[in-house]
């Protein structure tokens, strides 16, 4: 049996506590061996709760020979810096989205990982939930005819004023936080080469960052896509596809609870019906996929540079409106 991938966690973020460390603890392919923080007391508290060692400082974590891979749940503005440092230290990297705040940085990091035969994965968990592969198969089988349109929406309620998502110096804002999901979904179903033909970003009166946005995109075959996202809304997480002969709608699209039975609403011309899908823990699926990539000799996520390009292009298009 292959030894579990020994992971060090860089920082004590909430998503690490709630989702990722529990998933890593359950996954037979991974073992959390250390948690690093610039605050020694916080590192000890966090590590004690998860049965691993506390490390003072991120640099010390990267020098730790027991650590084979690093999980980076730091604020978005720090992702590229510490991902690069980890790759240069010879560690595989699972990093929260977005990998970088510009396409040039994302491309450089993917090339660095490839050159060093290291796994690099952006933690966009929903693509590892099996129901989206079911939707892809429905499309490939012609269940709704030829695809003609796609839309996706991900919005969440307002966070506290001091939340990192509301701080521009830390890479906050709706585009880099919630916008990643519907854009990645568009790429997942419509393929590479998406072009942004229009976009808007809105900054609310009480925000220092964009609090909502939307974009229109077109695929290489002419299929259109509409996405929207926000940080100051009622919760909404859904995507839909329309074809010449019907439609598919998926709710709880991006952040379903691990114990939730989900549904794919299919209307194939004979009337709508729900296809039930059993519960899956997409965080668990993600860490298992990451560990497999690391043990296979290192695989860099080639979608990352394209995702970064789309984020750049949405921001650029919004600045022209």
- Catalytically active residues are 97
**Residues in contact with 314: Cβ distance below 8 Å, sequence separation at least 6, in sequence order:** 175, 179, 183, 196, 199, 201, 213, 215
Q: Which residue in 115, 117, 119 sits closest to 99, CA to CA?
A: 119
| Helix, strand and coil in the chain, % to nearest 5 | 40, 25, 35
Q: φ and ψ at 312, to 5 degrees?
A: -60, -45
Strands 212-218 and 224-230: antiparallel
Task: Round to whole Å and give the CA distance between 160 and 144.
Answer: 42
Q: What is the largest CA-CA distance in the chain?
A: 61
Task: Round to whole Å and give the CA distance between 157 and 152.
Answer: 17
Q: Distances in Å between the alpha carbon of 136 and those of 55, 176, 183, 185, 270?
A: 43, 26, 16, 11, 20
DSSP code, position 300: B
The per-type count for the chain, helices as H runs and strands as E runs, is: 11, 14
**Residues in contact with 254: Cβ distance below 8 Å, sequence separation at least 6, in sequence order:** 126, 154, 181, 185, 237
């Amino acid at each position: 049996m292959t030894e579990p991938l020994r992971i060090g966690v860089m920082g004590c973020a909430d998503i690490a506590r709630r989702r990722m460390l529990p998933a890593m603890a359950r996954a037979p392919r991974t073992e959390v061996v250390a948690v690093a923080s610039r605050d020694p007391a916080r590192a000890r508290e966090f590590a004690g709760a998860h049965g691993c060692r506390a490390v003072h400082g991120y640099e010390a974590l990267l020098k730790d020979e027991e650590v084979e891979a690093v999980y980076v749940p730091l604020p978005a503005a720090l992702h590229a810096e510490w991902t690069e440092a980890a790759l240069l230290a010879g560690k595989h990297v699972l990093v929260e989205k977005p990998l970088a705040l510009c396409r040039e940085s994302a491309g450089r990091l993917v090339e660095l990982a490839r050159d060093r035969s290291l796994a690099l994965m952006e933690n966009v968990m929903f693509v590892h939930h099996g129901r989206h592969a079911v939707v892809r198969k429905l499309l490939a089988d012609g269940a709704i005819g030829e695809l003609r349109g796609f839309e996706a929406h991900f919005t969440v309620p307002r966070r506290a004023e001091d939340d990192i998502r509301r701080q521009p110096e830390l890479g906050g804002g709706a585009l880099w936080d919630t916008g990643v999901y519907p854009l990645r979904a568009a790429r997942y179903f419509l393929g590479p080469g998406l072009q942004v033909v229009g976009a808007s970003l809105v900054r609310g009166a009480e925000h220092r960052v964009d609090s909502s946005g939307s974009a229109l995109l077109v695929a290489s075959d002419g299929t259109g896509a509409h996405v929207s996202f926000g940080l100051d809304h009622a919760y909404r997480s859904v995507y839909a596809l329309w074809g010449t002969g019907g439609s598919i709608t998926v709710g709880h699209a991006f952040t379903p609870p691990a114990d939730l039975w989900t549904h794919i609403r299919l209307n194939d011309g004979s009337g709508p019906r729900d296809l039930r899908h059993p519960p899956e823990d997409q965080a668990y699926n993600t860490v298992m996929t990451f560990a497999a990539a690391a043990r296979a000799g290192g695989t860099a996520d080639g979608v990352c540079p394209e995702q970064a390009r789309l984020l750049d292009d949405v921001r650029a298009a919004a600045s022209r409106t």
